[in-house]
Structure 1
Amino acid sequence: MDATDFTAIPILDIAPLLTADHPDRAATVARLGDAARRVGFAQLVGHGVDQSLFDALLAATRRFFALPTEEKMRSYIGRSSNHRGYVPIGEEVFAGATPDHKEAFDLSLDLPADDPRYLAGNPLLGPNQWPDLDDFRAPVLAYYRAVFDLARVLLRAFAESLGEPADRFDRHVSTPPAQLRLIHYPFDAEAQDRPGIGAHTDYECLTLLRPTTGGLEVMNGAGDWLDVPFVENAFVLNIGDLLEVWTNGEFTATTHRVRKVPAERYSFPLFFNVDYDTAVAPLPAFVDQHRPAKPPLVAGEHLFAQTAQSFRYLRRRLADGSLTLPEDARPLSSFGQEARQREAAHPG
């Protein structure tokens, strides 16, 4: 389905998904599926995540980013072997874009240091790298767990909206590299109007984002950039590359970006993924003579390949040969509206 006609981001009350046998559950699932097909984005209210968890996360994040740069760099992401830690301004560069004007702290499912996958060198699994900062780890992990649980609810609802059993994807969610980013966009009145985050799609199944102000834009199928209005206490949901592949394009991984922000901005996306080794291929129900199957991919390898191409410390390792991309790694911007427009302009 070509997402060419949307001019606004739907606001959905998902409270019926949180209660067993709610009379409005089926209608809510249908609205969620419609948003995934037409837009690839939605604003979610009635999500049940306690505001106090977000407040504690924001307070901890403010304390971390207020630290001197040399203190933040003690947990620099380039010191880790599994992509965890502090991301300074300019470290991340998306396809064809200037370096992003933001700083971040990246973490994921916190596995023990003796986890065999980490010891074997998995590039995305293992323990987090934590700063030496009081009252940081606990509120961050509490928020992570709550939003991770909400994402599992949504993944089940998406399965239902596709005509699949609700537990269709559950078996693929045991120890996924599902990343939470704590992002800080400093306000600079003299800054040029360039992206805070360059145009891209997200590499996982779905993203749940809590920002503190506006600045996010999405591209519709006509190539127009539309503002995502800030909605107090709402999660911004967007579809990622994996659900676009699983649904053979029925769901849309929508291209988005963050423009120059009007004020200091904090943003907290949870990129919800399936297990690293999950083979993702189009579901048979969405393949026919008019819609040939999209090429399959491996969830973790796709995430790692996209990450390695957009972080400077990993690109240096690619250049010196100490790191190699997985076989069949796709270039940046292989999904979303920009990719569809390139395919339409150059078919075959």
Structure 2
Amino acid sequence: MTGTTDFSALPVIDIGPLIHGSDDDRAVVAAQLGDAARNVGFMYLTGTGIGQRLVDSLRAAAARFFALPFDEKMAVYIGNSTNHRGYVPEGEEVFAGGGVDKKEAYDLSLELPADDPRYLAGNPLLGPNQWPDLPGFTEAVSAYYSAVFELGRTVLRGFALALGRPATYFDHYVTEPPSQLRLLHYPEDLDAVDRLGIGAHTDYECFTILKPTAPGLEVLNGAGVWIDAPPVPDAFVLNIGDMLELWTNGEFVATTHRVRKVTSERYSFPLFFSVDYDTVVEPLPEFVTPERPARAPLIAGEHLHAQTAQSFTYLRNRLAEGDLRLPDGALALSSFGHTARLGA
């Protein structure tokens, strides 16, 4: 059974050949990506071509934003938006079975104009960002977003090869996706003892490309043991999300993870790489067998919105008040990954 190994560390994969290697080189890297996706669900990526200067600029911008007075951050409160963009104060986000998160965040996604017809029609995830009035912030964050989003396109082509498909197989699903970048800030908390920074969860998109600044991330292996995943110099962390688990009918695993034991200040920058909102995701036929029947299909954007609506307080309030409803067939939180398989 895939995705249940008792791994004790994350594999490190040099993806440089995906960017500038031969067909044979790309095939080797694709095989490594596929093996990691099947047996671990998490990996470190090196050779990305993204320089430290871009990361440093993002961190500096994030530090300036989170240092603002609370009222100034709340001027771009995520609950003021109609497409889930903006500042997330501590306690706003609660995962399944979790307590209040010890973190704050700023969330953005692919910038679309305010006159985009999908935004005007009320799409809950598409449209413009809600930017703070902070000189240089938009430029630094946008530059990082663009670079890591393009890295995501490259990695998705590697996964296509790993699945025996042409490298461009998924390209037409990635035109204007709601791929979200989060700037996460964990304040210093000297009293933190085994306190969850982020509750155990899987990510809702295809995969996540993460740059953390300090330890804290833990990954659940197939034996039910939490494994440390500390930062590795010049590397990004990548983890499989719900949509690649669904596309492969469980062959790739969206591994459950969490953040804990955060006592010193920590930043973390995940880019949740998604496909277009209306993409119908269903198991590829080669992964469907009598022993492993096909899982029910999902619409990528609806799944992302439904999971988000169940974990953010302002959206849960709208659900309770009847101003918002979940899409038909919406899954409960923790419906993917090891915890779902174990019934946890």
TM class by shorter chain equals: over 0.9
**CA drift at 1:150:** 0.4
CA distance in 1, matches of 2:220, 2:3: 12
Q: What SS does the corresponding residue of 2:75 show, helix, strand or coil?
A: helix
Give distance in 1, aligned partners of 2:3 and 2:155. 22
Deviates more, 1:74-83 or 1:2-11: 2-11
Deviation at 1:27, TM superposition (A): 1.2
Tell me the SS of whatever aligns to 2:57.
helix
CA shift, 1:134, in A, is 0.6
Aligned to 1:185: 186
What residue in structure 2 maps to residue 8 of structure 1?
9
Supply the AA of the counterpart residue of 1:149: E
**Matched residues in 2 for 1:15 and 1:165: separation?**
19
Q: Distance in 1 between matches of 2:174 and 2:269?
A: 21
Distance 1:183 1:229 in 2: 16
SS in 2 for 1:97: coil
Cα shift readout 1:253-309 (whole Å, capped 9, x = no counterpart): 000000021421000000000000000000001111111001110000000000000
Question: 1:175: how far off?
Answer: 0.5
What is the one-letter code of the residue matched to 1:288?
T
Aligned length: 343
> Using the alignment, how far apart are the partners of 1:192 and 1:214 within structure 2?
14
Q: Do the aligned partners of 2:220 and 2:226 also contact (CA within 8 Å) in 1?
A: yes
* Structure 1 partner of 2:31: 30
> Does the Cα contact within 8 Å between 1:198 and 1:257 map onto a contact in 2?
yes
Is the Cα contact below 8 Å between 2:221 and 2:227 reproduced in 1? yes
TM-score in terms of structure 1 length: 0.97
Paired residue for 2:118?
117
Name 1:130's counterpart in structure 2. Answer: 131
**SS in structure 1 of the partner of residue 196 of structure 2:** coil
- 1:149 counterpart SS class: helix
Offset at residue 193 of structure 1 (A): 2.7
Q: Which amino acid aligns with 2:254?
A: A
1:192 offset after TM fit, Å?
Answer: 4.3
Structure 1 residue runs of 4 or more that deviate by more than 6 Å after TM superposition: none
Residue 201 of structure 1 contacts residue 240 of structure 1 at CA under 8 Å; is this kept in 2? yes
Report sequence identity in percent.
67
TM-score (norm 2): 0.98
Q: Which amino acid aligns with 1:56?
A: S
What is the distance in 1 between the residues matched to 2:194 and 2:236? 26
8 Å CA contact 2:191–2:263 kept in 1: the answer is: no
- For 1:192 and 1:34, how far apart are their aligned partners in 2? 35
Structure 1 residue 165: Cα displacement: 1.3
Distance across 1 between alignment mates of 2:230 and 2:239: 14
Please tell me the root mean square deviation across aligned C-alpha atoms, in Å: 1.0
Following superposition, the deviation at residue 23 of structure 1 comes to: 4.8
Structure 1 position 10, deviation (Å): 0.6
Question: CA shift at 1:206, angstroms?
Answer: 0.5
Which runs of no fewer than 5 residues in structure 2 stay unpaired? none
**Structure 2 CA distance for aligned equivalents of residues 88 and 289 of structure 1:** 47
- Match in the other structure for 2:336: 335
Provide the residue aligned with 1:148 in structure 2.
149
Alignment of structure 1 residues 2-81 onto 2, 5 Å: 2-21=3-22, 23-81=24-82
Deviates more, 1:45-54 or 1:200-209: 45-54
The equivalent residue for 1:293 is 294
Which SS does the other structure have where 2:209 is aligned? strand
Indicate conservation of the 8 Å contact 2:192/2:263, yes or no.
no
Query: Could you give the per-residue CA deviations for residues 293-339 of structure 1, whole angstroms, max 9, x where no partner exists?
Result: 01110000000000000000000000000000000010000000000
Equivalent positions of 1:189-200 (< 5 A) are: 189-200=190-201
In the TM superposition, what whole-angstrom CA distance separates every residue of 1:211-269 from its partner, at most 9, and x where no partner exists?
00110000011111111022112100000000000000010000000002142100000
Structure 2: distance between partners of 1:41 and 1:20: 23
Following superposition, the deviation at residue 28 of structure 1 comes to 1.2
Does the 8 Å contact 2:246/2:282 carry over to 1? Answer: yes
Question: What is the distance in 1 between the residues matched to 2:289 and 2:47?
Answer: 37
Distance apart, 1:46 and its partner CA: 0.9
Q: Is 2:247 aligned against 1:241?
A: no
2:195 and 2:247 map into 1 onto residues whose CA distance is 33
CA positional deviation for 1:6: 1.4
Aligned partner of 1:268 in structure 2 is: 269
Whole-angstrom CA distance in 2 between matches of 1:47 and 1:39 = 20
Which residue of the partner structure matches residue 105 of structure 1? 106
Q: Which amino acid aligns with 1:9?
A: L
C-alpha distance in 1, partners of 2:251/2:3?
9
SS of 1:270's equivalent? strand
Tell me the CA shift for residue 20 of structure 1.
4.5
State the match for 1:313 in structure 2.
Answer: 314
Task: Give the match for residue 221 of structure 2.
Answer: 220
* Secondary structure of residue in 2 paired with 1:44: strand
Superposed CA offset, 1:108-167 (max 9, x none):
000000000000000000000000101100010000000000000000110100111111
Contact 2:26 2:158 in 1 (8 A): no
In the alignment, structure 1 segments of 5+ residues that lack a partner are: 344-348
Q: Are residues 296 and 23 of structure 1, via their aligned partners in 2, closer, same or farther at CA, if it must alter by over 3 Å?
A: closer
CA contact 1:245–1:282 (8 Å) conserved in 2:
yes
